[in-house]
Structure 1
Amino acid sequence: MRRKKIFGPFGAVVTASVLALGLAACGSDSGSGSSESGGSTGSSAPSSSAAPSPAGATGTGSAELPTGTPGKGKPAVIMGDKDFAEQFLLGELYAQALRARGYTINLKENIGSSEIIDKALTSGQIQMYPEYTGVIFSNKALADKGDHPKSATVTYQGAKQFEESRGYTLLNPTPFQDADGVAVTKSFAQKNGLKTIDDLSKLKSFTYAGPKENRNRYQGVLGLKQAYKLNNFTFSALPTGNQYSALDRGNVNSIAIFTTDAALASGKYTVLTDTKGIFGYQQVAPVVKQSVLKQQGPEFEQTLNAVSKLLTTDVIIALNKEVQINQKKPADIARIFLKANKLL
C-alpha cells in the first residue's frame, strides 16, 4: 500500500508513518511497558535479526506535561548532543519540547563521542545532554573496576548515583534501549555458521570495525577479548555511520552497531547474540546539572520526562529511519512527531 506523504515546514516531505507512530505513542503504550513515570517493564527489538531488548529500568520523576510557558523569563540552558544521527534526533526532541514551554535552549550539536561530550559537560561548555545509561555505568562510573551490571535497574541506579556524586543527575529513562552489538552480513553468517559472538572463534581470522573509541571500551575490543577470549581479529576504526557501507563492500567482516539502527530493518544483516552480556543495558536519560534543574523549576524536568516516555523501540526505529535512510532533517522529524503527540 502506498504511504501518503505529508509536506511539512520548509517543503520537507515526511511519510505519514511518522505521524502514525506519534499518535500511537500518545494513545497507547502497548508493547513498550511505558508508565506515567516514564519507565518501562520491557521493550521489543526491531523486526530484524536483532535480539529482543531486556527489561528496562523505570524512573521516579513526574512525566505529566506542564501547561503554559513556565520557562518564560528563565535563564538560557545549553544542551549538547553526540556525534551520530540518533543523538541529533534526541537533541531536537528534547530542545523543541522545552522551547514550546517557554524555555530558552541553545542546542550545541555533534559535539563528539561520550568521552568528548562528558568533558564539555564537566568544563561548563554545556549543562545537559542525552546519554545512554550503560555508557555512564561502564565507561565512567566503573571504568577501572571491571564491574558490569546485571540488569537495567542496576545500570540506571549506578549511573544516576555516579552523576549525582559530581553535581549532575539523570532524569527518567526512555522505554527503548539502544545497545551496542556486533553484526555481519546475512550471507557471511550463513556461510560460516555464525549465530552468536562466540561463533566468531570458528573463523581463522576476521576484521571488526567500529568507532575509534571501541578500541579501549569493554563494549568493544576489550569485551571481545576478555569475555569472549577472541584474539583472532583486527580492529578497524571507522566513523559512526560508515560501518555498514564498509561491510557491504566486503572491506570488513563484522561491525559495531546500535540495536536501533534503521539499516537493520533491511534484513541484510545478522546481529550476533551477545551470550556474555558485554553490551549491557542502554536506555537513554538526560544528564542535567542539578543547579540547572533547581533554577528552571519542576516543569523543566516534567517536560523532558514527557518526551522520554514516548520513545519506545518501534518509535525510535521509525524516527531513525526517516533520518538515516530517507535523509530527512532531524529537526523536521522531531517537530512532526512532537506535534502529533501534542508536545508542540
Structure 2
Amino acid sequence: MTELLNTIATQKSQIEQALWEHLSLSFWALVIAMLIAIPLAVLLKNSRHAGEIVLQLAGVMQTIPSLALLGLLIPLVGIGSVPALIALVVYGIMPIYQNTYSGLRSVDPNLEEAATAFGLSRWKKLTRLELPMALPVILSGIRISLVMIIGTATLAALIGAGGLGTYIMLGINQNNNAYLIIGAGLSALLALLMSALLKYVGASKKHLKQGIVVATLALVGFGGWRGWSSFQSKSEPIVIAGKLGSEPDILIHMYKDLIVNDDPHAKVELKANFGGTSFLFRALRNDQIDIYPEFTGTVLQSLVHDQRSTPHDPVKTYQRARRLLKQEYDLTYLKPMKYQNGYDLAVTADFAKEHQLTRLSDLAKINDQITAGFDPDFANQKDGYLGLKSAYSLNFNQVKTMEPALRYQAIAAGRVNLVDGYTTDPQVRQYHLKVLKDDQHFFPPYQGAPLMKASFAKKHPQVVKSLNKLASKITEKDMQEMNYQVTVQHRKASQVAHEYLVEHHLIKK
C-alpha cells in the first residue's frame, strides 16, 4: 500500500494524463459506435433478413482478437489513436446494434397499427412510439458497449495511443504491482462509474434530457478546446517518443532538457512508453514523432536489410547502422552514448561463488546443473540461446521460458539459477546478481543514439547539436543506477535525468 501511495504521489500528473487519454478514447469510440449502430438498426428494423445479416457480420467482427485487429489496421492507418479508435468502434457496434434492433422489433404490433390508424408519419411513429419503448433496451446495449470499450482500450497502449494500459504494460514489464493496480484499478473504476452514469440517465425522461444536454456540452466544449489549442499553437512541437520501460523514459527526458536548455523557446512534447521498436520506427517514418532513442544492434538485426553478421566492434556496428539507415530510409542516426544495453546472462552471487563462475565459457562445465529462465524470444533466436549453445558448447539441463518480468523473480525465489537480461537492468543490483562476462564477444554491441529523419536534422541543426552532447556519455553503471532509481525507488524519470545532466555539466541548473 505504501508503494502504491508513493507511486500515485510521484506520478500524479502522468496518471491524470493516462486517465484522460483513456476516457477520451473510450468516449469518442462510444459516440461513433452509436452514430453507426443506432441509425443502421432503425433503417433495417422492418427488414428481418437484412437485419439478421448485419447482426451476424457485427458478431463476426467482434470475434476477431483485438491484437490481431490492431495488427491488421497498422499497415492501413499507422499507429496511435486512429487504429485504436477504429478497433474500439468495431467492438462497440454489436451490443448497441443488437439491442436497438431487438428493441425496435419487439414493439407491440397492435401499438404500431394504432399509431398508423391515428395518421402518424413514419418519423413521428419512430420518435414518439418505437424509440421511447425500445429506449431501456437500447441504453442497456450502450452500457454493455461502453464497459467493453473501456476494458479493451487498455490495449491501445501497445500501439502508442496511451491510456491506462500503459501502466498495466509497465507493471508487467517492470514487475511493479503498484503500476498494475493503478492501470487495472482505474480502468475497472472508470467502467463502473460510466455504467452507473448511463443507468442514472436511463432512469427517467428528465435524467435522459439532462444526460443529452451534458453530453452535447461536452462535445462542444471538447471541440472548442481542441480548436482553440490548435489556433494558439504557433509552431509545431518537437515530438520525442520512447519505448516501454524506465530507460527510454530517462533518455527522452534527457533529450528534452538538452534541447530546452540550449533553446528556451523550443516546444518539446514527450510520448513516454509509446510502444515497441516496430511501432516507433513506423511512427518516425510517418512523421508522427520526430525523434526516439534506438540501439545499434537493434538497427542491424531488425530495422535494415543486412544479411551480414553484426560486427563485434561497437564503432563498426554504429557506422554500418548509420549508413544503412540513411541509405534505405533517409534517416539520420546521431552519435551513440558510451554504454551498451545488450544481452547478458546472470546468476546469483552465491551460485557464482560456489561454481567459480565469472565468464560465459565457465557454464559449459556445469551444463547438467543449470536450470535457466529465459525470455521466449531469447530462448529461440540465433543471437540468443540457440547461438550461445554453439559458441560456448552449452546444453543446459532445463530451460524454462517465461515473461521478461518474471525471470528475476524466478531466480530470486530459487526456481531457476540462470537468467537472461540486459546489461543495464536495475534488477541486477536489486537482487545482487553476478553478470557473466561474454568472453567470446558473442552478443552484438547495443549502443543507444537519437534517430530522426534527415529532413528534420537539416531543419533543426541546433537540436542535433544539443543531442550530440550525450555522445560517448553515460556508462553502464550510470544507466543501471538511474534505472534502479526509477524502477525500484520509484523516482520520476524527469528528475533522475535532470540530475544526471546537471551533475555532468551538460545543462545548467
**TM-score, normalised with respect to structure 2:** 0.48
Structure with bigger strand share is 1
Structure 2 CA distance for partners of 1:135 and 1:218, relative to 1, 3 Å: farther
Residue number in structure 1 paired with 2:248 = 87
- Give the C-alpha shift of residue 265 in structure 1: 4.1
Is the Cα contact below 8 Å between 1:170 and 1:287 reproduced in 2?
yes
Residue number in structure 1 paired with 2:401 = 236
State the distance in 2 between where 1:185 and 1:210 align.
15
- Give the C-alpha shift of residue 84 in structure 1: 1.9
State the distance in 1 between where 2:394 and 2:451 align.
34
Q: Which segment drifts farther, 217-226 or 249-258?
A: 217-226
Structure 2 CA distance for partners of 1:174 and 1:159, relative to 1, 3 Å: same
Tell me the amino acid that sits aligned with residue 423 of structure 2. T
Larger Rg: 2
State yes or no: 1:273 paired with 2:437: yes
Structure with bigger helix share is 2
Residue number in structure 1 paired with 2:343 = 180
Tell me the amino acid that sits aligned with residue 319 of structure 2. Q
Provide, for residues 31-56 of structure 1, a one-character-per-residue CA deviation record: whole Å limited to 9, x for no partner: xxxxxxxxxxxxxxxxxxxxxxxxxx
Superposition CA RMSD, Å: 2.9
- Give the C-alpha shift of residue 176 in structure 1: 2.1
Please point out which of 293, 314, 320 is paired with 1:158: 320
- Give the C-alpha shift of residue 167 in structure 1: 1.6
Provide, for residues 274-314 of structure 1, a one-character-per-residue CA deviation record: whole Å limited to 9, x for no partner: 12312222221111111111222x11101111244542344
Is the Cα contact below 8 Å between 1:74 and 1:103 reproduced in 2?
no
Q: Secondary structure at the residue paired with 2:424?
A: coil
Q: Secondary structure at the residue paired with 1:109?
A: strand
Residue number in structure 2 paired with 1:282 = 446
Residue number in structure 1 paired with 2:411 = 247
Q: How does 1:319-330 map to 2 (within 5 A)?
A: 319-330=482-493
The percentage of aligned residue pairs carrying the same residue is: 27
Provide, for residues 69-120 of structure 1, a one-character-per-residue CA deviation record: whole Å limited to 9, x for no partner: xxx9653232221122111111111123223423322222213333443343
Q: Secondary structure at the residue paired with 1:178?
A: coil
Tell me the amino acid that sits aligned with residue 402 of structure 2. A
Residue number in structure 2 paired with 1:337 = 500
Structure 1: any 5+ residue segments left out of the alignment?
Answer: 1-9, 13-71
Q: Secondary structure at the residue paired with 1:183?
A: strand
Is the Cα contact below 8 Å between 2:285 and 2:453 reproduced in 1?
no
Tell me the amino acid that sits aligned with residue 270 of structure 1. K
- Give the C-alpha shift of residue 270 in structure 1: 1.6
State the distance in 1 between where 2:255 and 2:386 align.
33
State the distance in 2 between where 1:216 and 1:304 align.
36
Is the Cα contact below 8 Å between 1:180 and 1:219 reproduced in 2?
no
Structure 2 CA distance for partners of 1:247 and 1:142, relative to 1, 3 Å: farther
Tell me the amino acid that sits aligned with residue 312 of structure 1. T
State the distance in 2 between where 1:117 and 1:205 align.
41
Structure 2 CA distance for partners of 1:189 and 1:339, relative to 1, 3 Å: closer
Tell me the amino acid that sits aligned with residue 350 of structure 2. S
Is the Cα contact below 8 Å between 1:139 and 1:217 reproduced in 2?
no
Q: Secondary structure at the residue paired with 2:332?
A: strand
State the distance in 2 between where 1:212 and 1:99 align.
40
Q: Secondary structure at the residue paired with 2:273?
A: coil
State the distance in 1 between where 2:277 and 2:390 align.
22
- Give the C-alpha shift of residue 267 in structure 1: 7.9
Residue number in structure 2 paired with 1:167 = 330
Q: Secondary structure at the residue paired with 1:177?
A: coil
Is the Cα contact below 8 Å between 2:367 and 2:395 reproduced in 1?
no
Q: Secondary structure at the residue paired with 1:227?
A: helix
Is the Cα contact below 8 Å between 2:412 and 2:431 reproduced in 1?
no
Q: How does 1:1-344 map to 2 (within 5 A)?
A: 75-100=236-261, 101=263, 102-141=265-304, 145-165=307-327, 166-201=329-364, 202-204=366-368, 206-232=370-396, 233-239=398-404, 241-265=405-429, 268-296=432-460, 298-340=461-503, 341=505, 342-343=507-508
Is the Cα contact below 8 Å between 2:240 and 2:291 reproduced in 1?
yes
Q: Which segment drifts farther, 319-328 or 128-137?
A: 319-328
Larger relative contact order (CA 8 Å, sep ≥ 6)? 1
Structure 2: any 5+ residue segments left out of the alignment?
Answer: 1-8, 12-232
Q: Which segment drifts farther, 261-270 or 104-113?
A: 261-270
